[in-house]
Amino acid sequence: METTAAFAGLECVDCGTAFDAAEVTHRCPDCDGVLDPTYDYDAIDLDRETLESRPFDSMWRYEELLPFRRESAVTMDEGTTPLVDCPALADEFGVERVLIKDEGRNPTNTFKDRGQTVAVTAASQHGASDVVLASAGNAGQAASAYAARAGMDSHVYLPSRAGFTNKAMVNVHGGDMSVVGGRIGDAGEAYEEASTDHDDWYPLQTFVTPYRHEGKKTMFYEVVEQLEWETPDAIVYPTGGGVGLIGMYKAAKEYRDLGLIDDLPELYAAQASGCDPIVEAYEEGWDEHEPVEHPDTICGGLEIPDPGASPWILEALRETDGGAVSTADPDILEAGVQVAKQEGLEMVPSSAAAASGAWELAERGEFDGDETIVILNTGAGNKEADVLRSHLMSQGV
Ligand SMILES: *Cc1c(COP(=O)(O)O)cnc(C)c1O
Ligand SMILES: [Zn+2]
């Protein structure tokens, strides 16, 4: 296996045991906990000037802080997305600056590409011929795209309510798609069964592979560099399984420890009120979520009733003095429409939850007048144009 110089291996988040990444590929062999890539940070010699001197051309420009070398990556030059100034939103929120990190401009139009480029690179380093996952939609589309690029077969389990674009594009990439009646939990069960029958299929499932949150770290590296090394006061993130939130939390601590920034940003989890286990646990002061029994939101990427990494998500919110907020589907769709009307940017409903959540936080007085707020637009609006348009119909337009 070809890795970067400082990559040290994998460590279990639950029991702390360290493993060789060439031998252990997924969950902790001792306790089944989530594995986290680790580095010898003393061996990483990165300063602001070195990073600035590199072209802003791919998230792999941060390869020293990733497990694999850019040379061996399965990549389509994902990442390095724009951070767009939103003066109308800043006005509405009563803050100095609002910026939207526009992840819609990734190869398959969501930030899932950042996770899959690293996870599929790991699969290729481990010699996998087949990859498998269950997904609400976007991760499945991204996985089938990267698997196609790597010459692997992909097996993708989607719930029937996954969006049309996701289903169509898994087919277009040549993926083996199974549409499972029901919701993400049902797709997850079909995935488990298939994985048991085919133990040579390499899982790309959230937090089953240790590499998806690792890829999503790069969102934070880019944001601070785009803000000329100023850490934003707050980052509002539309939270399902929390992969991106945990990635950014890890990235912020790495940059602080490497001396590249001084402070951590406040991290806020935004959810839909029809499925908000993180918000409930945060507000109740719990260390872990209670699964939602009847999840129901139009935001497919956020309809994750049982987010296994909730202790880690809650730690990120509390350690950074951030918080959690949920809003109702009609408010989320309205926020997506307002961002499109006022700023021109197109947000998929799941990410409009972050705009809606930020709006709610601003109304609660959570932000100060001199603050810089970053909202993650995790996916392009045209992935679910029909859902956004239907909101106008509910208004008689
Ligand atoms: C997957 C997804 C999310 C949720 O991401 P997590 O990292 O699992 O919390 C949010 N928005 C969109 C568009 C997604 O596809
Ligand atoms: Zn363990």
Same domain, 152 and 89: no
Strand pairing category for 7-12 and 35-39: antiparallel
Helix axes 329-343, 349-363, angle to 10 degrees: 90
Strand order in the sheet with 35-39: 18-19, 7-12, 35-39
Closest CA to ligand 1's atom 3? 301
Same domain, 343 and 377: yes
CATH of the domain at 280: 3.40.50.1100
Closest CA to ligand 1's atom 14? 301
Same domain, 105 and 216: yes
Rounded to the nearest angstrom, the distance between the alpha carbon of 303 and the centre of ligand 1 is 9
Same domain, 105 and 225: yes
Predicted pLDDT of residue 173: 98
Q: Identify whether 2 is part of a domain.
A: no
Q: Identify whether 292 is part of a domain.
A: yes
Name the domain boundary from 181, 200, 219: 200
Regions in the chain scoring below 70 on pLDDT: none
Closest CA to ligand 1's atom 7? 243
Q: Identify whether 120 is part of a domain.
A: no
Rounded to the nearest angstrom, the distance between the alpha carbon of 305 and the centre of ligand 2 is 24
Q: Identify whether 151 is part of a domain.
A: yes
Q: What is the pTM of this model?
A: 0.97
Rounded to the nearest angstrom, the distance between the alpha carbon of 302 and the centre of ligand 1 is 6
**Rounded to an integer, what distance in angstroms lies between the CA atom of residue 55 and that of residue 340?**
30
Rounded to the nearest angstrom, the distance between the alpha carbon of 85 and the centre of ligand 1 is 22
Q: Identify whether 87 is part of a domain.
A: yes
Same domain, 96 and 163: no
Name the domain boundary from 180, 200, 220: 200
Number of neighbours of residue 126 by Cβ within 10 angstroms: 13
Rounded to the nearest angstrom, the distance between the alpha carbon of 30 and the centre of ligand 2 is 5
Which residues does a 6 A CB cutoff place in the pocket of ligand 1? 110, 112, 138-139, 238-244, 301, 348, 350-351, 378-379
Nearest atom (ligand 1) to Cα of 383 = 13
The closest ligand to the CA of 212 turns out to be 1
Predicted pLDDT of residue 90: 98
Q: Indicate the top mutation candidate among 114, 350, 377 to test ligand 1's pocket, ranked by most ligand atoms within 8 A of CB.
A: 350
Same domain, 223 and 329: yes
Same domain, 338 and 380: yes
Q: Report the C-alpha dihedral over residues 160, 164, 169, 172, rounded to 10 degrees.
A: 90
Rounded to the nearest angstrom, the distance between the alpha carbon of 303 and the centre of ligand 2 is 27
- Residue 150's Cβ-count burial label (10 Å; 0-12, 13-18, 19+) is middle
Nearest atom (ligand 1) to Cα of 216 = 7
Same domain, 286 and 349: yes
Q: Identify whether 24 is part of a domain.
A: no
- Residue 199's Cβ-count burial label (10 Å; 0-12, 13-18, 19+) is exposed
Predicted pLDDT of residue 152: 98
Same domain, 192 and 248: no
Same domain, 274 and 383: yes
Render 60-93 in DSSP notation, one character per residue: GGGGGGSSS-GGG---S------EEE-HHHHHHH
Same domain, 104 and 135: no
- Count up the domains in the chain and report the number: 2
Predicted pLDDT of residue 397: 87
Domain housing 346: 83-110+211-394
Q: Identify whether 51 is part of a domain.
A: no
The closest ligand to the CA of 35 turns out to be 2
Predicted pLDDT of residue 138: 97
- How do the residues of the chain divide into helix, strand and coil, expressed in percent and rounded to 5? 45, 15, 40
The closest ligand to the CA of 28 turns out to be 2
Rounded to the nearest angstrom, the distance between the alpha carbon of 139 and the centre of ligand 1 is 8
Q: Identify whether 168 is part of a domain.
A: yes
Q: Indicate the top mutation candidate among 302, 303, 313, 333 to test ligand 1's pocket, ranked by most ligand atoms within 8 A of CB.
A: 302
Nearest to 378 by CA among 63, 61, 81: 81
Predicted pLDDT of residue 195: 95
Same domain, 256 and 386: yes
The closest ligand to the CA of 163 turns out to be 1
Predicted pLDDT of residue 175: 98
- Residues, CB within 5 angstroms of ligand 2 (ion): 12, 14-15, 28, 30-31, 33
